[in-house]
A and B are shown apart, each in its own frame.
Chain A
Amino acid sequence: MKKRTKTIIAVIAGAAILIGGIWMINESRYPNVPAFDDHFTREFLNKDKKVDDGFYEFKSKTGQYTMWFPEDFAIANDDGQGYSNNEQSYEDWRALSNKKERGENLIGQLNLKFFERSTKDEAVFVEATFKRRFHVNEPHIIETKNKKIYYDSAYTYFKGTEEKVIKNKSNYISNTYVGYVVDKHSNKTIETSYDFIGDKLSKSNGEKINEDFLKMLKSIRFAGNINYE
């Protein structure tokens, strides 16, 4: 081989190792959790802002809201179908998780829809949302200075194609959560659902899921809200 060629090969090889090395270092700077492993999801997250144990701050591409995003979840967008937005006025995404928690296989789905909607008929929309999922309109309400949170949960299962709902029975741990959050200062709205597959979640996992859901709902900050609470 000519000396020239040898040099060129050496340079290319060296560059490849260097680039590879940089890439690896780069990757290792990200937290070793599913949310950051997924290249699409990490675009929304701030790796330096771990807001709570198991959560990172999530910034919507619409610029209209932020929230706490669970690190075990990743938006399922490999086929381009897991996320969409319409500039600043609409955004939806679907995230999945699969982890072993306290000996149980927890498979979860987190769906979120952000949109703008007239505030006048808030009661109508809340009723439609909860009646559709749980057949009753009895959500819990948390009200803060900036927002109003409606949420409810139940144990659901499918009999054929019909979703059966069991609510408020102590021996049935909820596996379906629905939240409806409205901004008090604008017409920004978020509709979100949190579902888990599993015949029977353990009480402790059920409690954690409940806790996590409430954390996420409370963490929502709509753009323009100056006072945090």
Chain B
Amino acid sequence: MSKGPLLDENVRNKITQLEYKDLSGKEDKIRMIYKKETGKELPEFKIYSSKDMEIGKKSGFDGAAIHFYDKKNKINQIYYIFRGTEPAKDFGDVVYDALGIGAGKKNNQIQDAKEMYDRIEKKIEKSDLKVDRYGDGHSLGGNLIVTLGLITKNFKDIRGLNDAPVNVKQLMKIDAQFGKYVFAKSGGIKDIPPKDVVNLANVYYKKQKATISHTWVKGEPMHAQSFPNSWYAGNKVTMLGDLDTEEMINIGKYPFQKEAKWNPVYMIDQFRYNLGVKTILGGLGFANDHVKQETLLDLPNKSEQYLEHIKKYPFLHLGEIKAGVALGAAGGVNLLTSPGGFSQVYKGISQRDQAKLHGINYVVKYTEANAMKTYYQVFDSGSQEEILLDYEQMKKFVYYCANVIKDKEANLNALKQYLHSEINEVFEAKKKKLKMKISREEASPQSFMEKADKDGATLAWFGQKRVAEKVTFDKTFDPLDDSVFTPVEEIISSIQEEVTYYQKFLEAFFQNFEKMMEADESVASDIKSMKEVVGGI
């Protein structure tokens, strides 16, 4: 039986962070990280680095692998760790690379990642003990490790940290089998709609998705971007940090889509915005410390250099109002008059500082502080889109509903009690009281006669007197009329309908919930046991 992963997420995050300084020769540091986290010693391991293997010189790929092998203790685990673009690089470059907008560079890196994988796997090939593979990647590295996991289909789990989505159309070229699958399913048509490719990917990579998860710091720029063909493969998303932080603006998405549906002004604006985005696809960035303010403010006098910079990183200038004009020049969108463009610029300025949340250090920090919340990425059949499901909240919802429904049933029973017993009890009690009164009267016929038949009693004429000898009351009691019960019966029947409605509602909820979460085995079984508990509440 293979053990669980040796390294937990905190250790893995920290090693990913360390990878930016290259893992070659850092055995001691790694041991220290592990000891600090667990108090234990790491078993023997070997580090492989792309630099040592002379991989990635031209593509910029940078990754490492740590292999643990201990035959006696049945340990055979390998962790592939890919970092992102050089952090000292322009942030615009970071996002550009990671989003795969410059597909060639990214595809080259994936090819190198594959080379590293194939060579290492051959080296560590052992017949006696099956190897468990784990992967971690930050930013562009996250994109690479996810892609590698999809292609090789034999990782136990993969974690993308502030990672960028996969481009499904590029994936068709990178994973030949997936490419063939899409080709066959689409009948070889030239322009397959991106949504169709994403749907095919969700089917084709169903198993692999269950092993992939994403960890994002709330408010960091990468995951908020939605470009055509982008796809986050994976079932789980963990949000870190301050969950009240607003998400970064989505450059890929026109902000007034709702209005654009019916308002011609917005329609045209959206068209131009999207056109601008297409042109601007050559670069994406956010206000960056590297680019000095002065360079941007002095617009009219600017040199070729500046205009080149704008063309290369048009969105880098998004954080500056003046850039509206520059951006307009580069992308054909006049941000000063475009409501969509201006809204993004305005927001972009207020969010400049959030861009730093992209860094690996924030992933490390918030994971350690346990400031996190896990969501499941599931397919919402209604909207035909992937959504993030807050599983914990869903659970709370279910238990809450189930308990309340049980309360309602209890109330219904109280009403039934009232109908079947209490009414009669009250009636019998009144009857009993009345019978007593009757007895009392019957015991004193004279006084009764005097109060009941005053005239008769004094009818005595000619001095006659009347004396009561006996008084008898009719002691037959009719049962309560139906009209007493019927209204209550109707109320009960109506409430019973409500109970049935809510029970059916809960049933339907479970059905849909189970379907949505079926990809994740542990969740699926959790839901099953929830059903049993709820059924018995």
Q: Does chain A have a CB within 8 A of B119?
A: yes
Q: Chain A nearest CB: distance from B115 CB in Å?
A: 6
Residue pair B176, A133 in contact (C-beta under 8 Å) = yes
Residue pair B58, A91 in contact (C-beta under 8 Å) = no
Residue pair A81, B183 in contact (C-beta under 8 Å) = no
- Per-residue CB contact flags for chain B residues 361-384 toward chain A (1 = under 8 Å, else 0) read 000000000000000000000000
Residue pair B206, A161 in contact (C-beta under 8 Å) = yes
Q: Does chain A have a CB within 8 A of B401?
A: no
Residue pair B104, A81 in contact (C-beta under 8 Å) = no
Interface size on B, residues (CB 8 A): 40
- Per-residue CB contact flags for chain B residues 315-342 toward chain A (1 = under 8 Å, else 0) read 0000000000000000000000000000
Q: Does chain B have a CB within 8 A of A153?
A: no
Q: Does chain B have a CB within 8 A of A26?
A: no
Residue pair A76, B190 in contact (C-beta under 8 Å) = yes
**Bound complex: CA of A107 vs CA of B190, how far in Å?**
11
Q: Does chain B have a CB within 8 A of A228?
A: no
The contact of A163 among B104, B181, B185, B190, by CB within 8 Å, is B181
In the complex, which residues 189-214 of chain B have their Cβ closer than 8 Å to any Cβ of chain A?
Answer: 190-191, 203-204, 206
Write out the residue numbers on chain B whose beta carbons fall within 8 Å of the beta carbon of A108.
188
A79-B191, A86-B58, A90-B111 are contacts. A109–B104 as well, Cβ < 8 Å? no
Residue pair A176, B59 in contact (C-beta under 8 Å) = no
Write out the residue numbers on chain B whose beta carbons fall within 8 Å of the beta carbon of A109.
179-180, 183, 188
Residue pair B188, A107 in contact (C-beta under 8 Å) = yes
A94-B172, A133-B176, A193-B176 are contacts. A89–B58 as well, Cβ < 8 Å? yes
Question: Number of residue pairs across A and B with beta carbons under 8 Å?
Answer: 109
Chain A interface size, under 10 / 10 to 19 / 20 to 34 / 35 or more: 35 or more
Q: Chain B nearest CB: distance from A193 CB in Å?
A: 5
A109-B188, A116-B58, A118-B54 are contacts. A81–B177 as well, Cβ < 8 Å? no
- Per-residue CB contact flags for chain B residues 84-108 toward chain A (1 = under 8 Å, else 0) read 0000000000000000000111011
Residue pair A90, B115 in contact (C-beta under 8 Å) = no
Write out the residue numbers on chain A whose beta carbons fall within 8 Å of the beta carbon of B203.
161
Q: Does chain A have a CB within 8 A of B229?
A: yes
A86-B107, A109-B179, A117-B115 are contacts. A81–B184 as well, Cβ < 8 Å? no
Q: Does chain B have a CB within 8 A of A125?
A: yes
Q: Does chain B have a CB within 8 A of A78?
A: yes
Residue pair A115, B108 in contact (C-beta under 8 Å) = yes
Residue pair B184, A111 in contact (C-beta under 8 Å) = no
The contact of B119 among A86, A124, A161, A197, by CB within 8 Å, is A124
Q: Does chain A have a CB within 8 A of B226?
A: no
**Bound complex: CA of A132 vs CA of B180, how far in Å?**
13
In the complex, which residues 84-129 of chain A have their Cβ closer than 8 Å to any Cβ of chain B?
Answer: 84-87, 89-94, 96, 98, 107-109, 111, 113, 115-118, 121, 124-125, 127-128
Residue pair A78, B107 in contact (C-beta under 8 Å) = no
Residue pair A195, B183 in contact (C-beta under 8 Å) = yes
Residue pair B183, A197 in contact (C-beta under 8 Å) = yes
Residue pair B111, A115 in contact (C-beta under 8 Å) = yes
**Bound complex: CA of A197 vs CA of B229, how far in Å?**
24
Residue pair A158, B184 in contact (C-beta under 8 Å) = yes
Write out the residue numbers on chain B whose beta carbons fall within 8 Å of the beta carbon of A158.
181, 184-185
In the complex, which residues 451-502 of chain B have their Cβ closer than 8 Å to any Cβ of chain A?
Answer: none
Q: Does chain A have a CB within 8 A of B24?
A: no
Q: Does chain B have a CB within 8 A of A156?
A: yes
**Bound complex: CA of A132 vs CA of B152, how far in Å?**
9
A161-B204, A197-B188 are contacts. A90–B180 as well, Cβ < 8 Å? no
Give 7 A-B contacts (CB < 8 Å), ordered by A residue. Answer: A81-B167, A90-B59, A109-B188, A111-B176, A128-B114, A158-B184, A163-B181
